[in-house]
Amino acid sequence: MLDDFFIRALVAGIGIAIVAGPLGCFVIWRRMAYFGDTMAHSALLGVALSLLLELNLMVSVFIVASVVSLLLLFLQKRGALSTDALLGILSHSALSIGLVIVAFMTWVRIDLVGFLFGDILAVSEADIDIIWGGGILVVFALVYLWRPLLASTVNPELAEAEGLRPERARLFFMLLMALVIAIAMKIVGILLITSLLIIPAATARRFAGSPEIMAVLASVIGALAVAGGLFGSLHFDTPSGPSIVVAALALFVLSLLPVGRRLESASHFPNGGHQ
């Protein structure tokens, strides 16, 4: 039952979950969910360009996601439109341009659904090397940048005043996001990458007493969601991305269950209310 392709997908997926955990925490703390979405949607443009120019897929996606995030930073500074309008424009334009380019390339056949929603069959051994190599790079960078990133999340001016260079931290954060999107695309799919960033981090919040614990917990919860989702995907023959997101959602709902509170309320109403 556990075929080679499945083990590959599992190893790749857990690698992604480990880096997505701490990065997802920053996405939540900084309220950047839609920023992440925009970068992820631009990945399809990266896919199209990689086919057109015969570039490595992950490199191409990384470059396009980085360019889109820098473009957004630039447009934000100009301040002509609100950030959410800019995000909407960039996100859907990049996705649509990617789809249009793919449609023009009649000579290539690509599995669009696989790119949009993830495909556990698509993971090769080379992909695993890139995912774990890139993942280790992201984790080291996060550890190194942890203090300036956290301080500028709390207050950029405070970080700047006390010598932590928040602009640099922000720029590196964007590049790390682009890197994670590039390596997560095959497993989770372009449309669902941000959920792998956000849902495990949101689940971890309730159990975490410090930012560091929350980051580690988010990785663990993400890994559980990936394992659960991939088993489900294999068992029910569903696309891997949505299956992982459903598993993550299940964990999130479990974390919300007010177990302690229910016991408490039972003892609060000894009369049993209206009956």
Partner 1 sequence: MLNFRSPETRPLVSLNNTGVRRNGRWLVRGVEFSIGRGEIVTLIGPNGSGKSTTAKTAIGVLKPDEGYVERIGGLKVGYVPQKLAIDWTLPLTVERLMTLTGPLKAREIEEALAATGMLHMAKAEVQHLSGGEFQRALLARAIARKPDLLVLDEPVQGVDFSGEIALYELIKQIRNRTGCGILLISHDLHIVMAETDTVVCLNGHVCCRGTPQAVSQSPEYLKLFGRRAAGTLAVYSHHHDHTHLPDGRVLHADGSITESCFPGDGHHHHEEGEDVHDHDPDCGCGHHARLHGYEQPEKRDA
Q: With respect to partner 1, which residue has the nearer C-beta, 104 or 207? A: 207
Q: With respect to partner 1, which residue has the nearer C-beta, 213 or 263? A: 213
**Which helix or strand (DSSP H or E) is residue 207 part of?**
none
Are the C-beta atoms of residues 183 and 43 closer than 8 Å to each other? no
Judged by CB under 8 A, the residue of 63, 172, 205, 227 near partner 1 is 205
Pairwise CA distance, residues 238 & 230, whole Å: 9
Q: With respect to partner 1, which residue has the nearer C-beta, 58 or 159? A: 159
Judged by CB under 8 A, the residue of 7, 105, 136, 213 near partner 1 is 213
Q: Measured from the CB of residue 169, what is the shortest distance to partner 1 in angstroms?
A: 12
In which residue are the tokens 């964990």 written? Answer: 251
Which residues, other chains included, contact 242 with Cβ-Cβ below 8 Å and sequence gap of 6+? Answer: 117, 118, 189, 192
Q: How far is CA 102 from CA 45, 51, 192, in A?
A: 9, 8, 20
Q: With respect to partner 1, which residue has the nearer C-beta, 95 or 214? A: 214
- Per-residue x/- track, 221-250, partner 1 (CB under 8 A): ------------------------------
Q: Measured from the CB of residue 247, what is the shortest distance to partner 1 in angstroms?
A: 22
Q: With respect to partner 1, which residue has the nearer C-beta, 74 or 269? A: 74
**For the chain, how far is it from start to end, CA to CA, in angstroms?**
53
Are the C-beta atoms of residues 28 and 198 closer than 8 Å to each other? yes
Q: With respect to partner 1, which residue has the nearer C-beta, 93 or 205? A: 205
Q: With respect to partner 1, which residue has the nearer C-beta, 84 or 111? A: 84
In which residue are the tokens 């930073």 written? Answer: 73
Which residues inside 98-157 make contact with partner 1, applying CB under 8 A? 147, 150-151, 153-155, 157
Pairwise CA distance, residues 224 & 244, whole Å: 9
Residues in contact with partner 1, counted by CB under 8 A, come to a total of: 25
How is residue 2 written in tokens?
Answer: 């556990």
Pairwise CA distance, residues 157 & 160, whole Å: 5
**Which helix or strand (DSSP H or E) is residue 225 part of?**
helix 211-236
Q: Measured from the CB of residue 161, what is the shortest distance to partner 1 in angstroms?
A: 4
Pairwise CA distance, residues 107 & 103, whole Å: 10
Which residues inside 5-44 make contact with partner 1, applying CB under 8 A? 28-29, 31
Which residue, among 192, 193, 215, has the nearest Cα to 202 in the 3D structure? 215
Judged by CB under 8 A, the residue of 53, 74, 107, 209 near partner 1 is 209
Which residues inside 149-188 make contact with partner 1, applying CB under 8 A? 150-151, 153-155, 157-164
Q: Measured from the CB of residue 216, what is the shortest distance to partner 1 in angstroms?
A: 12
Q: Could you list the residues that contact partner 1 (CB under 8 A)?
A: 28-29, 31, 147, 150-151, 153-155, 157-164, 202, 205, 208-211, 213-214
